[in-house]
Amino acid sequence: MGSTGVKKVALAYSGGLDTSVMIPWLREHYECEVVAVVADVGQREDFDAIQAKAFATGAIACRVLDLKDSFARECAFPALQAGAIYEGRYLLGTALARPVIAAAQVAVAREFECDALAHGCTGKGNDQVRFELTYQALAPDLKVIAPWREWEITSREEAFTYAQSRDIPVPGSPTKLYSIDRNLWHTSFEGGVLEDPALPAPDDLHDLTVNLKEADDEPEDVVISFNRGRPVAINGTALEPAPLISSLNQIAGAHAVGRVDLVENRLVGMKSRGVYETPAGCVLLAALADLEALTLDRDTVAFKRYVSSRYAELVYQGLWYSPLREALDAFMVSVHETTTGEVTVRLYKGMAQPVARTSPHSLYREDLATFDEDAVYDQADAGGFIRLWGLPPSIAARTKAREAEVQNAIDSDGAQIVNAGPVPGLPSDLTSPQRPSTIGQEKV
């Protein structure tokens, strides 16, 4: 143990340039042992090679954890049920994966009796916040090391040079184009040429989706089955959460569905430009919202929409482990008691349009909505309803007209009228001869 007091640190390790440089740096700087924690959240990489690299660069142990199922089941699907979309556009792929990765890292740290946790996030992004808030929630006793906020390295180029000086194999060149984050739910790209938001992203920048001009020329209908707001089958085939997402990523990605190019507001204050691909997420969100329109009442839909954006902010801002997120999840479970059914989504050239929906809990009543003659809805009831519904704006309009009249009188003869008197017109309107006599005798 060196003078820093740290004996053993669990590092969230990806095998990329930054965290590869961190293993020797932590050993040299803290004179401590390093346990590498590799999280498989669906990024489709060669984990044997990553593990070998961790050992080659000096880790005393390396755990590769398959977190795909818990990521899908415990993070992605709850966010889907909540309709969580940050700033109306970002489906939160990175933000949702961080808590599950950090939680697994804490478990490994306990197993190896580590006294510190380290991550490879820079000091300018959201991810440092997400990792460290999870650490604070689950392991407040462990020291946190964020090398990017401590070391002398200030750029990817310098990290590259550092790696070369310590014989660490690095993929690509120092001018690596983008910062990429991949998991089951999405692939995101930031940095490089994307830093100029005035320029469209290059054509070769994509992972889970094809370019629009390479998208299938025929539309494809995909049927999503939901059980209490959770997707359970695609085209009639039951699937567990993680394989369901992968399979839908392939289907929708072939139609260029799910790509978003945007400027977002980071928690740490600056705006940043990113390109995201979330094919399955995009289809599932559209399908679930469509099913909700059938099964939820008007007030619940409106209230849910209102809390959805709050839920998205909590996730984006690193507050996954917060009482409010947990309470909102409980609300969502309750809301989705009846969100069971099937939605057909048509995929075509970047679009995912729900075109048909059914549910055993549907609140839709064709006998009520029909333009044809019906026996359940008395159209005469609508007249009285509209008069009462319109009472507040009607009073406001008449009052305004009366005030204008008084003002005109003052302006023209200079006289001061103290009491403008009652608002004219209202009593007779309220005692219209057509007031319905059927109130309380509902036929529906």
CA atoms within 13 A on the CB side of 274: 24
Q: Is 8 helix (H, G, I), strand (E, B) or coil?
A: strand
Q: Which is nearer to ligand ARG, 186 or 336 (CB)?
A: 186
Please identify which of the residues 27, 63, 98, 182 carries the catalytic annotation: 98
Q: Which is nearer to ligand ARG, 132 or 190 (CB)?
A: 190
d(CA 320, CA 318): 6
98 by Cβ neighbours in 10 Å (0-12 / 13-18 / 19+) ranks as buried
**Would you say 98 and 130 are in contact if contact means Cβ atoms under 8 Å apart?**
yes
Q: Which residue in 120, 107, 99, 95 sits closest to 26, CA to CA?
A: 120
Q: In this complex, which beta carbon is closest to ligand ARG, that of residue 99 or of residue 229?
A: 99
Q: Which of 30, 316 has the CB closer to ligand ARG?
A: 316
Shortest Cβ distance from residue 312 to ligand ARG (Å)? 11
CA geometry: angle 216, 243, 77, nearest 5 deg: 100
Q: Is the separation of the CB atoms in 355 and 221 below 8 Å? A: yes
Between residues 179 and 247, which has the closer beta carbon with respect to ligand ARG?
Answer: 179
Least distance CB 344 / ligand ARG (angstroms): 31
- Give DSSP secondary structure letters for 87-137: TTTB--HHHHHHHHHHHHHHHHHHHTT-SEEE----TTSSHHHHHHHHHHH
Q: Which of 14, 18, 290, 359 is catalytic?
A: 18
Residue closer to ligand ARG, measured from CB, 192 or 384: 192
Has 310 been annotated as catalytic? no
Q: Which of 73, 115, 179, 266 is catalytic?
A: 179
Q: Which is nearer to ligand ARG, 189 or 311 (CB)?
A: 189
In whole angstroms, give the CA distance from residue 51 to residue 182: 18
State in angstroms the smallest separation of the CB of 327 from ligand ARG. Answer: 23
Give the interface with ligand ARG as residue ranges (CB under 6 A): 94-95, 126-127, 179-181, 188-190, 272, 274
Indicate if 127 belongs to the active site.
yes
Select 245 or 335, whichever has its Cβ closest to ligand ARG. Answer: 245
Residue 195 DSSP one-character state: G
Minimum distance from residue 252 beta carbon to ligand ARG (Å): 20
Torsions phi, psi of 388, nearest 5?
Answer: -70, -40
Burial (CB count within 10 angstroms: exposed 0-12, middle 13-18, buried 19+), residue 232 = middle
Residue 323 tokens, joined: 């009482």
CB of 127 to ligand ARG, least distance (A): 6
How far apart CA 179 and CA 176 sit, in angstroms, is 8
CB of 105 to ligand ARG, least distance (A): 17
Nearest to 209 by CA among 152, 253, 160: 253
Minimum CB separation of residue 179 from ligand ARG in Å reads: 4
- 252 to 212, 238, 246, 350: CA distances (angstroms): 12, 18, 10, 8
27, 40, 127, 225: the catalytic one is 127
Q: What is the amino acid identity at position 192? A: G
- Least distance between ligand ARG and beta carbon 237 (Å): 31
Q: Is position 18 annotated as part of the catalytic site?
A: yes
Would you name the residues annotated as active-site residues? 18, 98, 127, 179
